[in-house]
Amino acid sequence: MKIYFNHIMVCTMLFTMPILGCKKNLKNPESPSITSDLANKGNFGQMLTISKVANLGMPKIWLYPDTVYTSLSIDGPIFKPFPSGYEDQIVSFRLPKGYMAVFAENSDGTGESVCYVATDSAINANLPERLKNKISYIRYIPVNNPEKKGTASTSDQTVKAFDTQWFYGWSLSRSSFPRQQFVPMTWGKWTCSLANVDYLVDRTDVDHLLSFNEPDNISQSNIPNIDTAVKRYKIMQLTGLRLGAPATTQNQVFGDGKWLTKFMAKAQEEKARVDFIPIHWYDWGNQFNNKATDSLTAEGVFKRFQTYVENVHIAYPDQTIWITEFNANPNRHSVLIHKYFMKLSTDWMNNTSYIERYSYFFPNTVPAVNNDFTLTDAGQYWHDLNSTQSFSGNIVSADTQLNVE
C-alpha cells in the first residue's frame, strides 16, 4: 500500500517536518456507509460510536475497527474519509471493550489528542473540553493486554524460547508470533517517515510503538537537538498507535537539563501526545557495591532500582512506565545476584499499577540462551517468573467525563 496526498503542499509539509497540522486542508468527503447486514441485525458491539451531542445523543454514527478516519486524502484500504458532517462536531463516544481509539484535533493525528483503551468494559464518555467539536482524526483498532513481562531480543529463536506475550528487538519490521505480539520501535530519527507510517498503519498485529533508543547517547540514536526529536516523533502520530517517549540512558530521564525532561517539556508545548515512558536501568556505578552475600547484594540493587523508578514516577506522575532494559549491572557475573534481583523486581513491578511492562536485558556475562537456543539457568528462571497483565483497568484521560451505561 502506498500513501498519496492530493495536495503537494501537504506532502511537502510532512516530509520537511515543520510543526504538523493539517486541519481542514482538504475536501469534505462522504460518510462511510454501514453495511445493511450490520444495520439490520443491530450488531454494533464492535463499532465505535461517535455523537454530535453529549451522552451519545442523536445524531450519531458508527465506525469500523482497523481503520484510520481522517480528512486527509490518502489511498489505501485502512484510510477512510472522515464522516461527512462530523469533522469538528464530535462531543461524545462509546468505545467497545477490547478496543482502543485515538482522537486528534488535526487530520494528521497531531495537535490536541487523546488515546483511550477499553480493557475492562466499554467506555462511554464525553470528550474533554479541549477536544469537543475539534476532532479531525480517529484511529480505531483492537488492543491486546499482554502480561507485563516481555522479551528484549534481536533473535526470533530467543523470543520463542521465552514465550512471553510481547517482545521487541530495537527494530520496526519484525513479525509477531502466535501468542507473542511484536512492539515496533522507531530506533532513530530517520525511521520516522511517511513510508513507515504507511507500513505500521497497514499492520493489524501491532497497537503500540516505541520511540528513539537512547537519543542522548552518541553511540546509539544520537539526537542532541530536542526540536528535531519532537518534530520527528510527531510524524508517527499519524499511525494512531499508542506512543512511547524516547528511552534515554539512566542518567537522562529526570532532573533539570536532562534530555527527557527537555523532550517532555517541548512535547507538551507542541501538543505531541506521549502515552507512556520507557526507561533503561543498569545500576551503573555500583558493580563493586556488594554485600556479604549474593542475596544481600541483590536486595541493595533492588532498593536502588525501586527508588529510581519511583523517582521517574514522581517526575512524570501522569505517565505509566515501561522498563524496556534493566538488569543488576552487566559487570556482575553472579547468576545468583541476577536471579535474586529478577525475583525482587518482578514481584514489585507486578504489583505496581503505574508500571505497564518490563523486559530483562541479559548481559554477556549472564546469557539468556545456550548456543542451541535452549534457555540457560538464568533464562529459565526468568521464563518461570510469574507476571500480571499490563493494563489494570481502562485507560481514560483525567479530563474525560464518563457516562453511566
Q: Sketch the domain layout of the chain as residue ranges.
A: 8-143+395-402, 149-384
Q: Sorting pLDDT into bands at 50, 70 and 90, what band is 26?
A: very low
The pLDDT of residue 44 is 56
Instruction: Count Cβ atoms within 10 A of the Cβ of residue 130 and give its class: 0-12 exposed, 13-18 middle, 19 or more buried.
Output: middle
Q: Kindly tell me if the per-residue pLDDT of 9 is higher than 90.
A: no
Which numeric CATH code is attached to 8-143+395-402? 2.60.20.10
Q: What is the pLDDT of residues 242-285, one digit of tens each?
A: 999 999 999 999 999 999 999 999 999 999 999 999 999 999 99
Mean pLDDT of 25-51: 49
% of the chain beyond a pLDDT of 90: 85
Q: Which CATH class is domain 149-384?
A: alpha beta
Q: Kindly tell me if the per-residue pLDDT of 38 is higher than 50.
A: no
Mean pLDDT of 113-124: 97
The pLDDT of residue 33 is 31
- Of 248, 227, 226, 215, give the one whose Cα is nearest residue 325: 248
C-alpha cell at 151: 522479551
Q: Kindly tell me if the per-residue pLDDT of 5 is higher than 90.
A: no
The pLDDT of residue 370 is 97
| Rounded to 5°, angle at Cα 212 from 208 and 217 | 150
Q: Which of 27-36, 194-203, 271-280, 368-377 has the lowest mean pLDDT?
A: 27-36
Q: Sorting pLDDT into bands at 50, 70 and 90, what band is 15?
A: very low
Q: Kindly tell me if the per-residue pLDDT of 73 is higher than 90.
A: no
How far apart CA 127 and CA 125 sit, in angstroms, is 6
Q: Kindly tell me if the per-residue pLDDT of 158 is higher than 90.
A: yes
How far apart CA 382 and CA 89 sit, in angstroms, is 50
The pLDDT of residue 4 is 32
Q: Kindly tell me if the per-residue pLDDT of 357 is higher than 50.
A: yes
Q: For 271-359, where are the alpha helices, taking DSSP H only?
A: 294-315, 335-350
More confident residue, 357 or 12: 357
352 contacts 302 by C-beta, under 8 angstroms: no
Place of cell 454530535: 52
Mean pLDDT of 189-218: 96
CB atoms within 10 A of CB 219: 6
Give the list of residues 6+ apart from residue 209 with CB closer than 8 angstroms, or none. Answer: 183, 184, 185, 186, 200, 236, 239, 241, 242, 243, 244
Output the pTM of the full model.
Answer: 0.89
Phi, psi of 197 (to 5 degrees): -60, -50
Mean pLDDT of 271-300: 97
Q: Sorting pLDDT into bands at 50, 70 and 90, what band is 405?
A: low
Q: Sorting pLDDT into bands at 50, 70 and 90, what band is 71?
A: confident
Q: Which of 3-12, 159-168, 318-327, 333-342 has the lowest mean pLDDT?
A: 3-12
- Of 338, 384, 387, give the one whose Cα is nearest residue 363: 338
The pLDDT of residue 404 is 56
Coil, helix or strand for 130?
coil
The pLDDT of residue 74 is 80
Query: Average pLDDT, whole number, for the chain?
Result: 90
Distances (CA, A) of 50 to 33, 87, 150, 208: 14, 11, 35, 23
157 contacts 171 by C-beta, under 8 angstroms: no
Mean pLDDT of 145-170: 98
